[in-house]
A and B are shown apart, each in its own frame.
Chain A
């Protein structure tokens, strides 16, 4: 089945450590995105990539890094510089800009810093 797979579903990290969240899609979408959700808040855009080997910062990129070496994959690294990393992270993908379509989301990864 076509879709977006995020792994792991739950992730625990010690303070001061970097951690990488995986996102893979088989929808043949060119664009991929990372959002963060905090309790009682909407989703906020961290980074997005419209084509391979290119990505742009979203609204809250500080403390995060990404790579887009393959069309299907868009991993997110939460670095030790991110002050409040505990959150629910959502990956999404969408088709070309000129097609009228919506973004599809993965099931999310809940990151907890211990």
Chain B
């Protein structure tokens, strides 16, 4: 039972354009959502998060949008840079649980072309 899904295995974008990565979830108990970036053979690094009481959170070029009614969140990267090329994981946490007890999506490989 995949509670967090990233339905696009890969995304290719031109440098300077917007990258939009999508994530859907099914568990209504999730109240905190995170995006991690990962390079091959390395650990994930935290990018940005959003609490279920908000619908948008920005940090520089990264913005996460949350649509609770649709159980959908998205990560926007504007403008995209070649250094953004990596695997992006969406993760979710249920309320009242430990902060690292996360459920991850399958990941989306982002490639930004110069």
CB neighbours (8 Å) of A43 from chain B are 44, 89, 91, 102, 104
Interface membership of A114, Cβ < 8 A: no
Q: Which of B41, B89, B99 contacts A42 (CB 8 A)?
A: B89
B interface residue count range (under 10 / 10 to 19 / 20 to 34 / 35 or more): 20 to 34
Q: Which residue of A lies closest to B104 (CB)?
A: A42
When A and B form their complex, what is the total count of cross-chain residue pairs whose Cβ atoms lie within 8 Å? 74
Question: Interface on chain B toward A: helix, strand, loop, or mixed SS?
Answer: loop
CB neighbours (8 Å) of A17 from chain B are none
B44 touches A105 (CB 8 A): yes
Question: Interface on chain A toward B: helix, strand, loop, or mixed SS?
Answer: strand
CB neighbours (8 Å) of A104 from chain B are 46
CB neighbours (8 Å) of B101 from chain A are 33, 45, 48, 58
Interface membership of B112, Cβ < 8 A: no
A interface residue count range (under 10 / 10 to 19 / 20 to 34 / 35 or more): 20 to 34
Q: Mark A13-52, 1 if CB is under 8 A from B, else 0.
A: 0000000000000000001110100001111110010100
- Distance, CA A71 to CA B100, complexed state (A): 15
Q: Which of B42, B98, B103, B107 contacts A48 (CB 8 A)?
A: B98
Whether A102 contacts B106 in the complex (CB less than 8 A), given A43-B44, A50-B98, comes out as: no
- Chain A contacts to B: CB under 8 angstroms: 4, 6, 31-33, 35, 40-45, 48, 50, 58, 88, 90, 92-97, 99-108, 110
List 14 additional contacts besides A31-B99, A102-B99, A108-B41; criterion CB under 8 Å. A33-B100, A33-B101, A41-B107, A43-B89, A45-B102, A48-B98, A48-B101, A50-B98, A92-B43, A92-B100, A93-B100, A102-B49, A105-B43, A108-B42
